[in-house]
Structure 1
Amino acid sequence: MTDQHAGIDTDVDVFEQPESVTVQPSDANLTWVSLPAAAMLSVAEVDQLLCWRDASIIAIVGERNGGKTTLVTEIYGRFLHGAFANAYFCHSLSLLGFERKSFQSRAVSGRVYPDTDRTSAQEGLRFFHLALSKDSDFSRHDLLISERAGEVYREIRDQPDRAADLIEIRKASTIVFIIDGERVAAPRRRAEVFASVRDIIRVITRTGNVAPQAQIQLVVTKFDLLDGDDKVEARNSLTEFEQKIEAMLTERFNVAIFHTAARAPLVDAESGQGLAPLLKTWLRRKPLVQLNSPSIPELSDEFDRLLLRRTV
């Protein structure tokens, strides 16, 4: 391009123009509709969804690297191949969130072994959204599955007062406590993981924020690492621990135990073990809350009688 004022030739790179240059939208662009970002939902977006959909909130609780995100993304991955757990994929407002968390588990990522993107504590509380249609009656069930960094749940063991601020616990119809099967398989880490899960359960259930009708689930992840004759002691210790937790909670809550292996790193191993029975429990209809009819006080003056006439 020639600069006529300076009388010299100047090369102009259009890709290095200032970012402040903006393109004015045409009149046709003014009618465009803004589409959802399709990322993971914030608390405010979840509130908006609950205004028009009767969704079940599933709170996933566990420490870092326990397999919380892998459990959820692998359930989503089952529906990429078709129907799963007697249900069909129906809709999701967090498809981009699912894909971002699943990318490192796919061959296109270039990784030698599958992995899952870690959740940072700075991300705060987010939710996956998954709407499924049951094959029996094709009724739609919306699931809102919490995603929070494991460091937050670890901190509430030392600061129990913070447990009252966990919104996902207060609203959850199902609370899933994750038990890391990899740490259970390691003799030196077994007692630590049992103590951590027990302390987290005690702190959360004693806050008074758990709904009486909420279901408590103990979900063991990476259960394939507990296979074999050399893991008999680990499996026995796990069974004993599960029985103690069930005895501690059974008088107050409905407790269920699941063993899962969402992602099997070995070629000859079966992936997705235990996911279907777990998902089916999430798709159950929430029990109706019985509300007591308020008693009408004695009406003693004309203003009270006026109120009664307006309600009849």
Structure 2
Amino acid sequence: MADLEPQEGAASPRCANPDCHVGVDGRCIEGFSDTADCPQFGRIPITPDASVSGAYPEPRNGVAMQASTTLSVDEADDVVKERPSRVIAIAGPHAAGKTSLIAGLYDLFQLGQVGNVAFAQSFSLQAFEQAAHDSRAASRRTTPNTARTERGEVRFYHLELVDTDSGAVPSVLLGDRAGEEYLETRSNPMSAQEFPELRRADVLTLLVDGQRLLDAGQRHNLRSEIRQTLQAFVEAGVVRPSQRLALVLTKLDVIRKAVDGGERAFQGFDTLVAGLRADYGTNFAAVESFRIAAQPSTDGAKRGENLDHLLEYWMAEPLRYRPATMVFEVPEAERYFARLMPVAKGVQ
């Protein structure tokens, strides 16, 4: 540090960094031992000009940006009341791929339109970014990962989307709840009544973990879990005939990379779908199956494969918006007043 010592009779060394006092104590705040190596040394110090009024306006009290996180039940209710909406309940065991599905859909919209659906706005951009971060290169992880959903009250990711074919601009609310809570309904079906996203859902989406279907020892257990969970929802009375059911096979890339090509996993999924459609088809307006790779961990599928088909299913107009069909029976009578009758009740 000898060359940083001020010389007698010489002008004090100066630094462009206002926090550096090299001219007083001879110590470089950047840690350089030789001033020639410091890019700030010898330059004119940068200090704010207090005489310039309005250059840095004071923040106004009471003005704040919206949090842009997931929505509470009450906030989601407000969205449903104010605008056309689609409520999507996504259920499945832990690690089935729920967060990957949500984050993968968000990442697809970063690239542009998904099928015939375009992004308009979101109240949950920060939450989407947090969900997607660990699967990106910026996270510096060696393999893609997604955060685990914590137990607690359901939260909703919000998307406002444009159907470029019909021109509809609905809000899509994706329910996010820990998978363990759904599985616990198998032993206590009535606990499902405490999950408002199930009763309000336009589409109930059940995720089937493709990686577990590859394991002969877990294949039967997984199918039993899905069947028992759906049975619990039905027993609890939280499903209704106007709802649609989506059965979604996740991790398509992992299945394709399996030694046997994943044929047994595909067959197991098809068997599950056929059984659920036969046993519970009358409880729903429609039952459809999908095979997706939201955020592939291998090269067995492209990113977001088949999410456009699932999104199209979600975007379909909910049956709860269909107007009631009015049934009138005009009595036969000669006198006009004899034909008057009470207003008929709506029949769905």
TM over 0.5: yes
Equivalents in 2 of 1:216, 1:205: separation in Å?
12
Aligned counterpart, 2:239: 210
Cα RMSD (Å) of the superposition?
A: 2.2
Aligned counterpart, 1:50: 80
Aligned counterpart, 2:35: none
Given that residues 58 and 175 in structure 1 are in contact (C-alpha distance below 8 angstroms), is that contact kept between their aligned partners in structure 2?
A: yes
Equivalents in 2 of 1:274, 1:258: separation in Å?
8
Unaligned segments of structure 1, at least 5 residues: 1-25, 295-312
Supply the AA of the counterpart residue of 1:129.
H
- Alignment of 1:156 with 2:185, yes or no, is yes
Equivalents in 2 of 1:91, 1:207: separation in Å?
35
Cα displacement (A) at 1:217: 1.0
Within a 5 Å distance, the mapping from 1:290-309 to structure 2 comes to 290-291=323-324
Aligned counterpart, 1:178: 207
Given that residues 211 and 254 in structure 2 are in contact (C-alpha distance below 8 angstroms), is that contact kept between their aligned partners in structure 1?
A: yes
Q: Secondary structure at the match of 1:79?
A: helix
TM value normalised by structure 2:
0.73
Unaligned segments of structure 2, at least 5 residues: 1-56, 328-348
> For residues 188 and 83 of structure 1, do their structure 2 counterparts lie closer, same or farther at Cα, with a shift above 3 Å needed?
same
Aligned counterpart, 2:274: 243
Q: Secondary structure at the match of 1:273?
A: coil
Aligned counterpart, 2:294: 262
Aligned counterpart, 1:16: none
More divergent stretch after superposition (111-120 vs 225-234): 225-234
Partner of residue 119 from structure 1, selected from 149, 156, 174: 149
Aligned counterpart, 1:86: 116
- Alignment of 1:219 with 2:219, yes or no, is no
More divergent stretch after superposition (50-59 vs 261-270): 261-270
Supply the AA of the counterpart residue of 1:244.
G
> For residues 240 and 292 of structure 1, do their structure 2 counterparts lie closer, same or farther at Cα, with a shift above 3 Å needed?
closer
Cα displacement (A) at 1:289: 4.5
Q: Secondary structure at the match of 2:104?
A: helix
- Alignment of 1:41 with 2:100, yes or no, is no
Cα displacement (A) at 1:291: 4.5
Equivalents in 2 of 1:101, 1:53: separation in Å?
26
Cα displacement (A) at 1:268: 6.4
Q: Secondary structure at the match of 2:289?
A: strand
Q: Deviations over 1:60-92 (max 9, x none)?
A: 011111101111110111010111121211010
Q: Secondary structure at the match of 2:127?
A: helix
- Alignment of 1:252 with 2:276, yes or no, is no
Aligned counterpart, 1:272: 304
Greater Cα radius of gyration, structure 1 or 2: 2
Partner of residue 232 from structure 1, selected from 263, 284, 289: 263
Aligned counterpart, 1:136: 165
- Alignment of 1:70 with 2:100, yes or no, is yes
TM value normalised by structure 1:
0.81
Q: Deviations over 1:166-215 (max 9, x none)?
A: 10011010000111001001111111111100000100022222122100
Given that residues 241 and 282 in structure 2 are in contact (C-alpha distance below 8 angstroms), is that contact kept between their aligned partners in structure 1?
A: no
Given that residues 252 and 292 in structure 2 are in contact (C-alpha distance below 8 angstroms), is that contact kept between their aligned partners in structure 1?
A: yes
Aligned counterpart, 1:98: 128
* Number of residues of Structure 1 aligned to a counterpart in Structure 2: 269
> For residues 28 and 70 of structure 1, do their structure 2 counterparts lie closer, same or farther at Cα, with a shift above 3 Å needed?
closer
Q: Which has the bigger relative contact order, CA under 8 A and spacing at least 6?
A: 1
Q: Secondary structure at the match of 1:251?
A: helix
Cα displacement (A) at 1:28: 6.6
Q: Deviations over 1:280-304 (max 9, x none)?
A: 111111123554879xxxxxxxxxx
Q: Secondary structure at the match of 1:76?
A: helix
Given that residues 172 and 211 in structure 1 are in contact (C-alpha distance below 8 angstroms), is that contact kept between their aligned partners in structure 2?
A: no
Aligned counterpart, 2:315: 283
